[in-house]
């Protein structure tokens, strides 16, 4: 009798890969390590993800989904307040960056490992950055910023700085002042 497909396999593989990629980086984690941690056979992993690149792109899609969930939650908490949403996005990122063991933005970390512009992982990273930037721009437009592109870019730079600072210094870093900086930047732009 043939085995039934495991409906949860893809999610279990992604969960293990995410934990390992977040902790060690993408290049240092081999597929065999994921297989060993998961306790599955190679066939299961390769049935769900034909290549490591495919698995890494799925990991990045998960990161994008996590970002979208944060943005949606903030939107629900601050409906009709796009300026407040911009500030709260920075605050949430800063909170995450000050957590024990934070290693930086997983998308930035992955992008640093895949510098070739034509590589599918690099393209997935750039796609994420473009979506984030477009969302920040949309909020800046809705907040009626004098120059929405500049405001969006400044908020993106604050987020990137928070991620880098948090990865290096954790709770000792400057992430605790990020919300105030975002508030100053948003107020000056309106």
Is residue 25 within 8 A of residue 113, CB to CB? The reply is yes
Domain ranges of the chain: 7-50, 52-189
Is residue 17 within 8 A of residue 51, CB to CB? The reply is no
Q: Which of 182, 181, 83, 185 is nearest to 141 (CA)?
A: 83
In terms of phi and psi (left: phi > 0; alpha: psi -120 to 50; beta: otherwise), the region of 170 is: left
* Gyration radius from the chain CA atoms: 19
pLDDT in tens, 104-140: 999 999 999 998 999 999 999 999 999 999 999 999 9
Write down the CATH number for the domain with range 52-189.
Answer: 1.10.357.10
pLDDT at 1: 46
pLDDT at 4: 55
Q: Any idea which fold 7-50 has?
A: Arc Repressor Mutant, subunit A (1.10.10)
Q: pTM for the complete prediction? A: 0.88
Work out the pLDDT band at 3, boundaries 50, 70, 90: low
């Amino acid at each position: 009798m043939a085995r039934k497909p495991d409906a949860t396999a893809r999610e279990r593989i992604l969960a293990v890969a995410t934990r390992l990629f977040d902790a060690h980086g993408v290049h240092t984690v081999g597929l065999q390590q994921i297989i060993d941690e998961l306790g599955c056979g190679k066939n299961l992993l390769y049935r769900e993800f034909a290549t490591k690149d495919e698995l890494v792109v799925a990991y990045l899609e998960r990161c994008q989904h996590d970002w979208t969930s944060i943005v949606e939650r903030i939107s629900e908490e601050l409906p009709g307040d796009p300026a407040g949403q911009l500030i709260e996005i920075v605050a949430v990122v800063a909170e995450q960056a000050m957590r024990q063991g934070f290693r930086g933005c997983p998308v930035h970390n992955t992008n640093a490992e895949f510098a070739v512009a034509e590589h599918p992982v690099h393209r997935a990273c750039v796609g994420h950055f473009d979506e984030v930037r477009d969302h920040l721009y949309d909020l800046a437009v809705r907040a009626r910023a004098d120059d929405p592109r500049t405001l969006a870019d400044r908020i993106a730079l604050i987020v990137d700085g928070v991620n880098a600072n948090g990865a290096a210094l954790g709770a000792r870093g400057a992430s605790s002042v990020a919300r105030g900086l975002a508030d100053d930047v948003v107020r000056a732009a309106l």
